[in-house]
Amino acid sequence: MNDLALFARRLLRNPKQVSAVAPSSRHLARAMAEGLGPQTGRVVEFGPGTGTLTRAILAAGVAPANLTLFELDADFVTHLRQDFPGVTVHHLGADRAHEVVDAGVGAVVSGLPLLSMPAPVCEAILSAAFRVLAPGAPYIQFTYGPKPPVPSSILDKLELRVEAGRKVWLNLPPARVYVFRRDP
């Protein structure tokens, strides 16, 4: 099954979990993977869905053995395991990343719909990400909204700073990339 058909089927079955009207575009995927490469070391991806961001991460030069994915949807997990040999795919929520990934990760890339999640879930996901990230390493997230997808109360609590990245107009809907860091 091609990516678009799989995405549409999963969207119809579980719209709240998929929480997007279309898969991420290759333009957004490239923007999310900017700056990643062999020098990044281990990379974790949250919510890979059909693998659009995964392809861009690998195309940037991250080795399959250095990429770990966290996906809740069983059909997406099966698809990802077939399409990306050598990549580790966990059928787990991102909030549990720290249970199976050792600290020192070079980047976390997230396609999760943080804006549609309750604040405690958003906080748990970011907390897990920063438990596995190396000091100063980025958490890269996109959103369709006009501001960062994380409430300032969570940013303050987790001692995170955020920088706005590129606006990607060639995505449906247009999206903005944000980079979150915790100073070492």
pTM of the model: 0.89
Q: Where are the domains of the chain?
A: 3-181
The confidence band for 15, taking pLDDT boundaries of 50, 70 and 90, is low
If DSSP states are collapsed to H, E and C, what string results for 147-173?
Answer: CCCCCHHHHHHCCCEEEEEEEECCCCC
Q: Residue 184 has what pLDDT? A: 73
Q: Residue 8 has what pLDDT? A: 46
The architecture that CATH gives domain 3-181 is 3-Layer(aba) Sandwich (3.40)
Question: Distance of CA 158 to CAs 62, 122, 125, Å?
Answer: 28, 11, 11
Q: Residue 110 has what pLDDT? A: 98
Residue 14 pLDDT greater than 60, yes or no: no
